[in-house]
Structure 1
Amino acid sequence: MFKKAAADMLGLSDIGSVIRREDYDKVDADDYVMHEDNERIYFLIKSKADEYCFTNLALIHLDGTSAISKKRVLARYPYAHYPIREVYMETAGTVDLDVEIKFKIGEQPFSIDVHKKYIREIKDLYKSLLKIAEISYENNLKLQQAQQSLELASSVLGQTNKLDANLVEQFNGIRQSAFEWMTESHEQYKQKDFGAIFERYINQ
């Protein structure tokens, strides 16, 4: 009940507001942050209907059908599984009340309207998401290159050892090496935690 009353306390409307760090405990999204796993909120936008909670590990979206409905749909998008891309920002015109930040996470598009008084904070979020998108894109290329390198090495090794009598032992050795190589590459290039990026660009 306290958190439902918090929307009025925070002066929320259909246009999003950037919630200050000291008020994170007044929003519903905080209940779904995995504090036990060192997950931390770095940026939070809230309107009467929706919450967009950016943590070091994921985007948590509480989707309200309307400002007066009590129902919420909770969606969680870990950055490691849903790369951020196509990040855009629309600044406010002379008569506009809001700025807009747009991006895709995985295949899910987001377009978030925020009151223009938070333009500085939204610029910080924009830079953070842009950097995360860049890192995710480059890591994906490196992971693909690792996969291609492994396939090439396996093909060459297979051709040079066709006459070896101990084929089963060779096959098991190659399979184990391939598994270890891809596991190591996946851990290296599938970044899960972007806390350092948020800390670099966001000043709250």
Structure 2
Amino acid sequence: MAANLFGKLASDTLGLSDIGKIIAPSDFDKVDGDDYIMHEDGEKIFFVIKSKSDEYVFTNYGLLHVDGASAMSKKRTVKRHDFCYETVSGVTLETAGTIDADVEIKFHFNEMPFSIDVDKKQLEILKDLYKALLEISRIQRMNYQRVQDGAEGLKMANDAISRSSITGDAAQVVKNLTDFNFNWMVDLRKTHNNRDFSETFKKYINN
């Protein structure tokens, strides 16, 4: 235990630890992840955490993770997690103890877990990201429930129609019903599937 503690303190002192730093908005254009942002499509950076080997770039469209194998390697893997395709869950924030040098924010994009250590001096700023991700998770859950309710309502309507007598061209009636069902579900998902969470980030993060 004492040896592990000594090793951690030595690592922090020598600057070898992988504790992330929150990057100021004025420096967003200097991070590696900025090169992969879809600026042409209106994507905007709202929050960046950078460690020696990784960058976590939070945008209005999702998370861009620039994944480094190690601090010594220049090799990077760029991974995207979009809000319109993946849901955020399990958002937690762990504050630091007396001797800890870092705090930790944890969350999932679908089944992919993330655990990011951040300098404890930046806890107050990290709280803003915590609140934004928590709100995004809440909105996504609410949207999912609305889509489920809409689909259930459509099913009930179809069941009622199936018990009724069909008049006219049966094939055309079936085609019209199929087209209606398809368009209903497309519109439902489009209405209740946020791609852009700019307003949520603006609400909680002061850039």
CA distance in 2: counterparts of 1:40 and 1:112, whole angstroms: 21
Q: Does 1:183 align with 2:155?
A: no
User: How far is 1:161 from its partner?
Assistant: 2.6
CA distance in 2: counterparts of 1:52 and 1:12, whole angstroms: 19
Q: Which runs of 5+ in 1 are unaligned?
A: 1-10
Q: Which is further off, 104-113 or 172-181?
A: 172-181
CA distance in 1: counterparts of 2:17 and 2:125, whole angstroms: 18
2:202 matched residue in structure 1: 199
CA distance in 2: counterparts of 1:31 and 1:143, whole angstroms: 35
CA distance in 2: counterparts of 1:158 and 1:131, whole angstroms: 41
Specify which of 86, 106, 111 is matched with residue 110 of structure 2: 106
CA distance in 2: counterparts of 1:93 and 1:161, whole angstroms: 70
Kindly report which structure 2 residues correspond to 1:68-107, keeping only aligned pairs within 5 A, or say none. 68-107=72-111
TM-score (normalizing by structure 1)? 0.91
What RMSD in Å do the two structures reach over aligned CA positions? 1.3
2:4 matched residue in structure 1: none
Specify which of 14, 20, 23 is matched with residue 19 of structure 1: 23
CA distance in 2: counterparts of 1:84 and 1:186, whole angstroms: 17
Q: Does 1:127 align with 2:98?
A: no
CA distance in 2: counterparts of 1:186 and 1:55, whole angstroms: 22
User: Residue type of the partner of 1:186?
Assistant: R
User: Residue type of the partner of 2:85?
Assistant: H
CA distance in 2: counterparts of 1:29 and 1:100, whole angstroms: 21
Kindly report which structure 2 residues correspond to 1:26-41, keeping only aligned pairs within 5 A, or say none. 26-41=30-45
CA distance in 2: counterparts of 1:198 and 1:161, whole angstroms: 52
- After superposition, the C-alpha distances for 1:82-103 in whole angstroms (9 at most, x for unaligned) are 1101100000111111010000
Q: Secondary structure at the match of 1:103?
A: strand
Alignment check: 8 A CA contact 1:12 1:46 kept: no
User: How far is 1:12 from its partner?
Assistant: 9.2
Aligned positions, number: 193
Distance change (3 Å), C-alpha of 1:12 and 1:42: farther
CA distance in 2: counterparts of 1:141 and 1:117, whole angstroms: 38
CA distance in 2: counterparts of 1:85 and 1:182, whole angstroms: 24
Q: Which runs of 5+ in 2 are unaligned?
A: 1-14
Q: Secondary structure at the match of 1:31?
A: helix
2:157 matched residue in structure 1: 153
CA distance in 2: counterparts of 1:177 and 1:191, whole angstroms: 23
